[in-house]
Amino acid sequence: MKAHSSRVGVFVRIRPTAHFSQDLIECLPDGQTVNIHHRKDSRKPEDSRKSQLSSWSFRLAGILQDVSQEELYARVCRRVVLGALDGYNGTLMCFGQTGAGKTYTMTGSTESYKQRGIIPRALQEVFQEMDKRTEYTFSVHLSYLEIYNETLVDLLSSLQGSPQLSPRGMVVVEEPSRGVFIRGLSLHPVHSEEEALNLLFEGEMNRIIGSHALNRSSSRSHCIFTVHIESHSRTLSVAKYVTSKLNLVDLAGSERLGKTWSEGQMFKEAMYINKSLSFLEQAILALADRRRDHVPFRQSKLTHALKDSLGGNCNTVLVANIYGEAAQIEETLSTLRFASRMMCVRTNPAVNEHMDPAAQIKKLQKDLHMLKEELSFYNTLVNRPRIMYEPLSEAQLAEIHSQVQRYLKGNLEEISIISIRQVQAVFAQFKLAVQEQEQKVKAQLCQTFNLMEKDQRANTAAIKEWDTRDSTEDVEALRSSSTKASTKMSRDKQSQSKRQGEGSPVSKKRLESASKSKLNSVQTPEREQESQEPETESQDSQESQPPGNEPFNPDSTPSKAEAFEDFKVGRGSKINRILKENKAVLLERCSLLRQLTEEVNAVKREIDCITATIQQHETRGGQGQYMVMEGMPVLQEPDGTSLMQLRELKALYRQRYEVLRGVKAEVNYCQHLVDQCRVRLLSEFENWYKKSFLVPEEELDITIDRTLEQGEDNQRLLPDSSESFYNARYRMLKRRTALSFTPVQRNSSARSGQRRLPPILPVS
């Protein structure tokens, strides 16, 4: 909704008088400007000639002189009252010195209906307008607050149903949802103009009684009569509703502290009034100054209570009541100054809209129901099958699951799309299927990996030892790690004895051969394999013979350690050889690295020594002292030789360091190659071992048969089919050797059921 105004509406009302001072108060014909001409009286008689006439001009929203109550209401108040019915907060304030006509303007004369003031007229307008606006339901509550000497008084507390005042009395409270309100102030629902007027008169009566009881004038207090309006649209959203407050404020007399009030209660009252009105002025100045982000509302009860009713989103109107007589010209001037300041306050009135959550839910449910009906109507028109918009039932979900499964297996050509819910459920099923598949593969891998990992750990440990020992020891270590714990100890002993007896010569031999090899002879396992393929084949065929040409026994499954030994000389001989060579190079580079490190360190030590000597000499020289011990100088003067030597050493250091760096890089590279070879040897061995000994014969037979069908030459060309190739060979070998088996061997083979196969060794 549009804002009604962007400024506070300030009007001046001049109390009718027979002695209107036209000389001092000049109302211009524009109806908005009032000029005040005032000659300041000097107290000293000799200065009276010096007194100067000063003029002030005030341009306000309107000057109301000899204006009836009705006209004043129409010009000043109507739009604010109507705005309150639209949801805008509104504030109407009367400001001025005592007797200037504030109460007359706000409440009016109680004797004449015609002279009734803003409040009764506003109440009448509110109820009349409510009756007119049939599309809304309204609820109206009234409250009447008096602020006397910074004390809050509920002028309607005498009425039935008013809350019992808390021991702390009433307090001004701010809450985000409700804004500013007075806790403890009674709010009275009213349904008609009459009811509302009754409350107004009740409050007025209480105000008069209170002032008599306290022996004070009613104009010594501020009074705020508030109309609280809440409206709900009957046609639009039921969840949305608007609220507003219409504050009708009759302020206490603004006259300054005079001589007559210099004592007792009146002095105290005047102090409080002056204070609260000056705080009101400060708040208004702060509101008028757009650069200020803090407005001191909390300084007085009045400003705090009116916090959301002065500027901001509120329609605010000030009526400045002034006397027309010359005697009151100073107070008139002061009132007009206040009024002109109030003119500077800008407002951005906004409707106070709220949402009722319960009503909102109801409305959304209704909307949803309507949309579903609309959809089903549309579906019927386009001949779509009946679609469920409710969440899918368990049976429907099961059906979708089966559809997806059939679709994945290829038994269902397509899944027809029916509804968004169904599409989502289908996707969910796909996701589930993928996850299940992943789990399956993972479990399989885990099974294999665990086995491999266990064996590999043992093998790796063995191979590591092999780095420093003979290959025989390595086999022994592998064997011992593969056997049970009970036999581990005895085997370790055996391996130890072997290590002592055989290990050293072989190691030496290997080191010797390793020292001869060069770094550039190091090759990656792949390249080596490719380049030496024919040679390896022939080597393999030679090395693949079981040691001592032992008869081939298909019944016995060798231990892993034995199999590994066989593998290294047979199927894995290539990679084993490469590994050996690379390790030899690595060893050689390592020893070179050690040697170079020692040399570099030695040079560094020499440099340090010479540097220290030179430094010591320089220090002593600088101090002009030579320490002599037993007649010999401890330090000799450094000659050119020392410096030369230092230079040479430094150059040597740099040179050796460079070499060292290069060798270090070579060592790293060799180490990488060795690791690669090691991993490959182990993985190839694992594959080979698994295929050879752990695969059931039936499966192997299928593999072998297929392999045989494809032919030997073809297999050689395919790197990944090398195992099939060896399996085929084994099959052939098996057929051959079966013929030469002894009856005993045959029987034993039959007894064991032959689930496990002997090692597959390549034969020429």
Annotated binding site: which residue ranges?
96-103
Q: Determine which residue in the list 62, 87, 96, 311 makes contact with ligand ADP, applying CB under 6 A.
A: 96
Amino acid at 303: T
Q: Which of 109, 531 has the CB closer to ligand ADP?
A: 109
Q: Determine which residue in the list 48, 57, 109, 595 makes contact with ligand ADP, applying CB under 6 A.
A: 109
| CA 296 to centroid of chain Cα atoms | 36
Report, in Å, the least distance between residue 321 CB and Mg ion.
Answer: 9
Q: Which of 219, 495 has the CB closer to Mg ion?
A: 219
Please choose, from the candidates 594, 500, 577, the residue with its C-alpha nearest in 3D space to the C-alpha of residue 543: 577
Residue 324 binds ligand ADP, judged by CB under 6 A: no
Q: Which of 19, 44 has the CB closer to ligand ADP?
A: 19
Q: Which of 100, 514 has the CB closer to ligand ADP?
A: 100
Binding region for ATP: 96-103
Q: Which of 261, 730 has the CB closer to ligand ADP?
A: 261
State the Cα–Cα distance between residues 33 and 635, nearest whole angstrom.
Answer: 108
Q: Which of 142, 322 has the CB closer to ligand ADP?
A: 322
Q: Which residues pair with 154 in a beta bridge?
A: 145
Within positions 244 to 273, which residues make up the interface with ligand ADP, using CB under 6 A?
Answer: 253
State the Cα–Cα distance between residues 27 and 632, nearest whole angstrom.
Answer: 120
Give the position of tokens 């014909």: 29
Residue 104 binds ligand ADP, judged by CB under 6 A: yes
Amino acid at 148: Y
Q: Which of 11, 689 has the CB closer to Mg ion?
A: 11
State the Cα–Cα distance between residues 334 and 336, nearest whole angstrom.
Answer: 5
Q: Residue 104's binding partner, choosing from ligand ADP, Mg ion, none, with beta-carbon cut-off 5 to 8 A by kind?
A: ligand ADP
Q: Which residues pair with 25 in a beta bridge?
A: 36
Q: Residue 318 burial by CB count (10 A; 0-12/13-18/19+): exposed, middle or buried?
A: buried
Radius of gyration (C-alpha) of the chain in whole angstroms: 55
State the Cα–Cα distance between residues 181 and 305, nearest whole angstrom.
Answer: 7
Residue 32 binds ligand ADP, judged by CB under 6 A: no
Q: Which of 211, 687 has the CB closer to Mg ion?
A: 211
Q: Which of 102, 469 has the CB closer to Mg ion?
A: 102
Report, in Å, the least distance between residue 44 CB and ligand ADP.
Answer: 34
Q: Residue 31's binding partner, choosing from Mg ion, ligand ADP, none, with beta-carbon cut-off 5 to 8 A by kind?
A: none
State the Cα–Cα distance between residues 577 and 579, nearest whole angstrom.
Answer: 5
Please choose, from the candidates 304, 342, 347, 288, the residue with its C-alpha nearest in 3D space to the C-alpha of residue 296: 304
Residue 560 binds ligand ADP, judged by CB under 6 A: no
- Residue 228: how many other CB atoms lie within 10 Å: 20
Report, in Å, the least distance between residue 253 CB and Mg ion.
Answer: 7
Report, in Å, the least distance between residue 260 CB and ligand ADP.
Answer: 16
State the Cα–Cα distance between residues 451 and 686, nearest whole angstrom.
Answer: 10
Stretch that binds Mg ion, among 97-105, 163-171, 493-501, 698-706 (CB under 5 A): 97-105
Q: Determine which residue in the list 1, 16, 431, 464 makes contact with ligand ADP, applying CB under 6 A.
A: 16
State the Cα–Cα distance between residues 163 and 171, nearest whole angstrom.
Answer: 14
The closest residue (CB) to ligand ADP is 101
**What secondary structure does DSSP assign to 71-131, as a single string?**
HHIIIIIHHHHHHHHHT-EEEEEEEESTTSSHHHHHTB-SS-STTB-HHHHHHHHHHHHHH
Q: Determine which residue in the list 206, 219, 352, 481 makes contact with ligand ADP, applying CB under 6 A.
A: 219
Within positions 196 to 255, which residues make up the interface with Mg ion, using CB under 5 A?
Answer: 219
Residue 103 binds ligand ADP, judged by CB under 6 A: yes
Residues 6+ apart with CB under 8 A from 33: 27, 57, 58, 59, 60, 63
Residues 6+ apart with CB under 8 A from 114: 68, 69, 70
Residue 101 binds ligand ADP, judged by CB under 6 A: yes
DSSP 741: -
Q: Record the tokens describing residue 562, joined without a space.
A: 């034995």
State the Cα–Cα distance between residues 565 and 466, nearest whole angstrom.
Answer: 13
Task: Mark 511-540 with x for binding to ligand ADP (rule: CB under 6 A) and - for no binding.
Answer: ------------------------------
Q: Residue 109's binding partner, choosing from ligand ADP, Mg ion, none, with beta-carbon cut-off 5 to 8 A by kind?
A: ligand ADP
Listed in order, strand segments (DSSP E) in 346-418 are: 352-355
Q: Which residues pair with 96 in a beta bridge?
A: 321
Stretch that binds ligand ADP, among 100-108, 139-147, 613-621, 697-705 (CB under 6 A): 100-108
Say how many residues make up the chain: 764
Report, in Å, the least distance between residue 351 CB and ligand ADP.
Answer: 33
Where does residue 313 fall: left (phi above 0), alpha (psi -120 to 50 degrees), or beta otherwise? alpha
Within positions 581 to 640, which residues make up the interface with ligand ADP, using CB under 6 A?
Answer: none
Give the position of tokens 């005047």: 270
Residues that bind Mg ion (rule: CB under 5 A) add up to a total of 3
The closest residue (CB) to Mg ion is 103
N-terminal to C-terminal alpha carbon distance within the chain: 99
Please choose, from the candidates 327, 286, 323, 322, the residue with its C-alpha nearest in 3D space to the C-alpha of residue 303: 286
Report, in Å, the least distance between residue 87 CB and ligand ADP.
Answer: 31
Report, in Å, the least distance between residue 30 CB and Mg ion.
Answer: 30
Q: Which of 244, 321 has the CB closer to ligand ADP?
A: 321
Report, in Å, the least distance between residue 219 CB and Mg ion.
Answer: 4
State the Cα–Cα distance between residues 142 and 190, nearest whole angstrom.
Answer: 7
Q: Determine which residue in the list 102, 222, 232, 678 makes contact with ligand ADP, applying CB under 6 A.
A: 102
Q: Which residues pair with 142 in a beta bridge?
A: 188, 227
Q: Determine which residue in the list 15, 188, 207, 469 makes contact with ligand ADP, applying CB under 6 A.
A: 15
Q: Determine which residue in the list 98, 299, 334, 737 makes contact with ligand ADP, applying CB under 6 A.
A: 98
State the Cα–Cα distance between residues 481 and 488, nearest whole angstrom.
Answer: 7
Q: Which of 21, 321 has the CB closer to ligand ADP?
A: 321
Q: Residue 347's binding partner, choosing from Mg ion, ligand ADP, none, with beta-carbon cut-off 5 to 8 A by kind?
A: none
Residue 554 binds ligand ADP, judged by CB under 6 A: no
Report, in Å, the least distance between residue 27 CB and ligand ADP.
Answer: 15
Task: Mark 179-218 with x for binding to ligand ADP (rule: CB under 6 A) and - for no binding.
Answer: ----------------------------------------
165 by DSSP, 3-state: which? coil
Stretch that binds ligand ADP, among 99-107, 289-297, 691-699, 750-758 (CB under 6 A): 99-107
Q: Determine which residue in the list 103, 247, 347, 692 makes contact with Mg ion, applying CB under 5 A.
A: 103
Amino acid at 196: A
300 by DSSP, 3-state: which? coil
Stretch that binds Mg ion, among 98-106, 233-241, 441-449, 602-610 (CB under 5 A): 98-106
Residue 99 binds ligand ADP, judged by CB under 6 A: yes
Report, in Å, the least distance between residue 314 CB and ligand ADP.
Answer: 23
Q: Residue 312 burial by CB count (10 A; 0-12/13-18/19+): exposed, middle or buried?
A: middle
Asked if residue 225 lies in contact with residue 119, where contact means CB atoms within 8 angstroms, the answer is yes
Q: Which residues pair with 171 in a beta bridge?
A: 183
Q: Which residues pair with 140 in a beta bridge?
A: 190, 229
Residues that bind ligand ADP (rule: CB under 6 A) add up to a total of 14
DSSP 524: -
Residue 557 binds ligand ADP, judged by CB under 6 A: no
Is the alpha carbon torsion for 448, 451, 455, 456 positive or negative? Answer: positive
Interaction site with ligand ADP (CB under 6 A): 15-16, 96, 98-104, 109, 219, 253, 321
* Binding footprint of Mg ion on the chain (CB under 5 A): 102-103, 219
